[in-house]
Amino acid sequence: MVKPPDPPSEAVGASLQASAVSPRTGQFRISSLLGLTPWLVPIAIAGFATATTDGFYLHLAIMWGIYSILTLGLNVVIGFAGLLALGQAAFYGFGAYASAIAVMQYDVPYLGALLIAAVVPLVIGLLLAIPFMRLRLRGIYLGMATFGFGEIAFLIFRNWESMTGGSLGMRAIPAPVIFGYEFIDQQPYAYLVIAVLLIVISLVVRLVNTMPGQVLLAVRDDELAASSVGIPTLRYQVAAFGFGAALAGIAGSLFAHYITYLSPENFTSNISILALTMLIVGGRGNVVGSLVGAALLVILPEALRALPELRILTYGALLMLMATLRPQGILGDLRWGQNPPAWTGPEVPRRG
Amino acid sequence: MVDHSAQQESRPSNTLLTSDALTVAFGGLVAVNAVSLHVRTGEVFGLIGPNGAGKTTMFNAMTGFTIPTSGRILFADQDITALPSWKRARMGLARTFQNLRLFPEMTVFQTVLIGRQAGREAGPVAQLLGTRRAQQEDRACRERAFEEIAFVGLEKKINTEVKHLPYGDRRRVEIARALATDPSLLLLDEPAAGMNPQECNDLLGVVQRIRDRSLTIVLVEHHMRVVMGVCDRIAVLDHGTKIAEGVPPEIRANPKVIEAYLGKEVRVRARA
């Protein structure tokens, strides 16, 4: 077959990348500005954190950022790769303890501890996912297996006293120090969390807008079909699981050094279910949705404090309404920043 | 891929795919019993038989979706009996599915791009990082995906989601996705199943054009018209055993085939 001539390099991946300016015409378009929403949301929250001095609001902003990272990780596993993981709290916990132990017992600088907090859950996640995937655990069976792993992780946190302090937990975890600056106040801590979140968002958006992410979606939709065209489905699934675990670990580290006190009770299955709820409310496979889902589930319980008797009832009823009326998530089919490959014609206009 | 000259096509001799005494048993049920087949380079090889004859089982064993109980499968002189399907696909063995297996949320273009992914030199990490080579490859993949979509005649629907396409078009998407892997052997599992006569004719046209690209084709089929019209050689399975092999006129005249396959209807009709 005859190949058309190579298009010039400035048109590279034109439709694969989010950009406010169309690469072909240089024209500014509102619709492509919406493509920046994944980054604009955290920047807006950072602006809010600058404007307020109220510790309570700053606390909500920080917890939102941490839960957003946790939920984005779960989104890669459940939303993109289609693997039902119900033990995400385990990786969140491994990240939190690994980071605290690295800083307190081995004097690792914070950035190193943050890396360890990603690598430890990554390795555990990979070691777990390989047998799970090989044994063809899928759907609710994978859900049960990962849930079981979450319970085991909880027991490890509670019983490995020499490392985790057992049920007494770990106290006085120091604030992160990066290049000599100590992130001890809430406001700078919010900036730190949002900075990490922005990097995580960039990674996830890049993943979903390039072919490896597309392959994940294909594997999710039909494993056999994907393998029939030469896709090593197992490797992609294992990698996605590991990536989700690493993001959970990063969230755990940011949590540990913010709360400064770790107890096994912080990492029960409640957290796994909370992250899952944030994901479902925001919409599976929707990047901005994860941010919105995390925001709603951080704010909602606080907003409902005004009606103490009805709080849990209202909360439950809202979740049920969501599941019934908006099963695809609160944003529906709006997937800002996500640009699946589309054919836009040959990239060079051919002249006669 | 090997370029085939005209005389090679008229007298093909070299074997591309071999099944050597292949047996597939599910518990006590022997679905395929010691079947040996030789598919020659450049030919359209038909595999027919009545329902439950073991065609699809045979097909799945050749493509790595079923593990054979005994026997061997050779592809381009390599033993692939134990290889998983994705490795076979990377060697140049592509397939379609009897009950379409597509990615419902994806567009035609996205689907065919997935077919292009396995043959790439740049790994997933290079693609994520967007290295220069990966970007050049991205462009080549997009062009190739477009070519395959145009080849099956779907270029006007390239950005349509697959779930919105009519049945016949979905078949074409599957074929385009398989062709995007750059195969040397394409196995089609009952491609005419569920198609109306018009769609069936169009499909025959597509099969002819694939053949003109010097691809070898294995066609598992039920529609006699499709099989007789397009195949160079045909093997007939009945109750998991091969009962005949030869060119279409031989098959049509073979008493065993008439008995097992074609004759049944006649007998039923005669009785009624």
**A168-179 residue pLDDT tens:** 899 999 999 999
Q: How far apart are CA B170 and CA B100, in angstroms?
A: 8
Question: In this complex, is the C-beta atom of B131 within 8 Å of any C-beta atom belonging to chain A?
Answer: no
Whole-number pLDDT of residue A28: 62
**Mean pLDDT across the stretch B124-128?**
93
**Mean pLDDT across the stretch A326-335?**
89
- For chain B positions 201-220, those within 8 Å of chain A (CB to CB) are 213
Whole-number pLDDT of residue A263: 95
Percentage of chain A lying above the pLDDT 70 cut: 89
> Is the pLDDT confidence value at B50 over 70?
yes
**Nearest chain A residue to B177, by CA:** A229
**Mean pLDDT across the stretch A321-340?**
89
The whole-angstrom distance between B189's CA and the closest CA on chain A is 13
The band of A10, judged by pLDDT with boundaries at 50, 70 and 90, is: very low
Contacts of B141 in chain A (CB under 8 A): 211
**Nearest chain B residue to A230, by CA:** B86
Span between the terminal Cα atoms of chain A, in Å:
20
Whole-number pLDDT of residue B264: 53
Among the partner residues A4, A6, A340, nearest to B110 by beta-carbon distance = A340
The answer to whether the CB atoms of B85 and A228 lie below 8 A apart is yes
> Is the pLDDT confidence value at B206 over 80?
yes
Among the partner residues A214, A229, A239, nearest to B177 by beta-carbon distance = A229
CA dist list (Å): B56 to A235, A332, B31: 28, 40, 10
> Is the pLDDT confidence value at B170 over 60?
yes
**Mean pLDDT across the stretch B246-271?**
73
Whole-number pLDDT of residue B13: 57
Whole-number pLDDT of residue A351: 47
More confident residue, A226 or A14: A226
Count the neighbouring beta carbons within 10 Å of the beta carbon of residue B74.
16
Whole-number pLDDT of residue A302: 86
- The mean pLDDT value of chain B amounts to 88
**Which spans in chain B are helix H?**
6-10, 55-63, 85-91, 108-117, 124-129, 132-151, 167-180, 197-212, 224-230, 248-253, 255-257, 263-271
Percentage of chain B lying above the pLDDT 90 cut: 67
The band of B146, judged by pLDDT with boundaries at 50, 70 and 90, is: very high
The whole-angstrom distance between A37's CA and the closest CA on chain B is 21
Write the burial class of residue B252 (CB in 10 Å: 0-12 exposed, 13-18 middle, 19+ buried). Answer: middle
Number of A–B residue contacts, CB under 8 Å: 124
Whole-number pLDDT of residue B257: 85
Closest CA to B50 of B222, B214, B216: B222
**Mean pLDDT across the stretch A66-83?**
97
More confident residue, B26 or B271: B26
The two tokens of residue B244 are 């005949």
Max mean pLDDT range (A17-21, A26-30, A38-42): A38-42
For B174, residues 6+ apart whose C-beta sits below 8 A from its C-beta are B96, B97, B100, B101, B102
For B214, residues 6+ apart whose C-beta sits below 8 A from its C-beta are B1, B2, B3, B4, B9, B42
Whole-number pLDDT of residue B42: 92
The band of B63, judged by pLDDT with boundaries at 50, 70 and 90, is: very high
The answer to whether the CB atoms of B85 and A218 lie below 8 A apart is no
The whole-angstrom distance between B268's CA and the closest CA on chain A is 39
Q: How far apart are CA A343 and CA A222, in angstroms?
A: 23
Contacts of B145 in chain A (CB under 8 A): 343
Question: In this complex, is the C-beta atom of B67 within 8 Å of any C-beta atom belonging to chain A?
Answer: no
Among the partner residues A210, A225, A343, nearest to B159 by beta-carbon distance = A343
- For chain B positions 3-62, those within 8 Å of chain A (CB to CB) are none
**Nearest chain B residue to A285, by CA:** B105
pLDDT tens digits, residue range A85-126? 999 999 999 999 999 999 999 999 999 999 999 999 999 999
The two tokens of residue A342 are 């589309």
Q: How far apart are CA B253 and CA B268, in angstroms?
A: 20
**Mean pLDDT across the stretch B163-180?**
94
Name which of A212-226, A337-351, B242-256 the model is least confident about.
A337-351
Closest CA to A272 of A136, A93, A130: A93
The band of B263, judged by pLDDT with boundaries at 50, 70 and 90, is: low
Contacts of B115 in chain A (CB under 8 A): 229
> Is the pLDDT confidence value at A224 over 70?
yes
**Which spans in A75-185 are helix H?**
88-106, 110-134, 139-159, 161-164
The whole-angstrom distance between B270's CA and the closest CA on chain A is 43
Among the partner residues B104, B135, B140, nearest to A13 by beta-carbon distance = B135
Closest CA to A285 of A64, A82, A41, A139: A82
